[in-house]
A and B are shown apart, each in its own frame.
Chain A
Amino acid sequence: QVQLVQSGAEVKKPGASVKVSCKAYGYSFTNCDINWVRLAAGQGLEWVGRLNPNAGHTDLTQKFQDRVTMTMDTSTSTAYMELRSLRSEDTAVYYCARGSPIVEADVDYWGQGTPVTVSS
């Protein structure tokens, strides 16, 4: 069945970078977008952007355009999100989520989340 498995928790210092991985199982990786969403404590969900694994194209929320890179390795069905110049407000759980193959839907299956802590 469809499953997204993410890398483990990270602790980083301000100014550093973090790279989170999301390995897909149970479907053809290049057929569906991978979205990234984060949840900070006391805040709501925030969409970071999406990667189209077929074209390699990304769409990013404007606030992340200078600091986020989304990449993929189709040989291992793995998507990556790198966030640079980390600051304390980037402390959050980062989720990957599959773009649904149902045209009328958006995302369906989610990863388990990767906690990222930014602290000096």
Chain B
Amino acid sequence: DIQMSQSPSTVSASVGDKVTITCRASRSIGSWLAWYQLKPGKAPQFLIYQASHLQSGVPSRFSGSGSGTEFTLTISSLQPDDFATYYCQQYNIDPRTFGQGTKVEIK
């Protein structure tokens, strides 16, 4: 199975800050990477596919980059609605695997 790791596990930030989350794959997955946002009690939200393509309706302050084994999710100016946990997921091969999550919390 492909192992996915994220860093940091927690980031403390303020509204307006730029936040960057890193995701690494144990072997190359090309650009087959997605990012999701999870909040307690709510349906997870799909943010980015194929490493850098923004899902329709997702605010442009979210962006993704990378290929191969290293990827990043960037929130250019953190908004109150962005405090959540973010997960990367590889879909290059089954079984789909996820990173362990990065919690973005209020500083």
Residues of chain A whose beta carbon lies under 8 Å from any beta carbon of chain B:
4, 35, 37, 39, 43-47, 49, 59, 61-62, 95, 97, 100, 102, 104-113
Whether A102 lies near B49 (C-beta < 8 A) is yes
A45: shortest Cβ distance to chain B, in Å? 4
Contact between A44 and B44 (Cβ–Cβ < 8 Å)?
Answer: no
Question: A35 to B91, alpha carbons, bound, how many Å?
Answer: 12
| Interface contact B96-A106, CB-CB below 8 Å | yes
Q: B77-103 toward A: CB 8 Å interface, digit per residue (1/0)?
A: 000000000010101001111111100
A-B contact pairs, 10 of them (CB 8 A): A44-B87, A44-B101, A47-B95, A49-B95, A61-B94, A100-B49, A105-B34, A108-B55, A109-B43, A110-B43
Contact of A95 with B44 in the complex, beta carbons under 8 Å: yes
* Residues of chain B at interface, number, CB under 8 A: 25
A62 touches B101 (CB 8 A): no
CB distance from B62 to the nearest CB of A (A): 15
- The prevalent SS among residues of A at the interface is strand
| B38 in contact (CB, < 8 A) | yes
Cβ contacts under 8 Å, A102 to chain B: 49
Are the CB atoms of A104 and B50 closer together than 8 Å?
Answer: yes
Interface residues of B in 6-53 (CB under 8 A from A): 32, 34, 36, 38, 41-46, 49-50, 53
Known interface pairs A45-B101, A105-B49, A109-B46; 10 further A-B residue pairs with C-beta atoms within 8 A, sorted by A's residue number: A45-B87, A47-B95, A61-B94, A102-B49, A104-B49, A105-B50, A105-B55, A110-B43, A112-B41, A112-B43
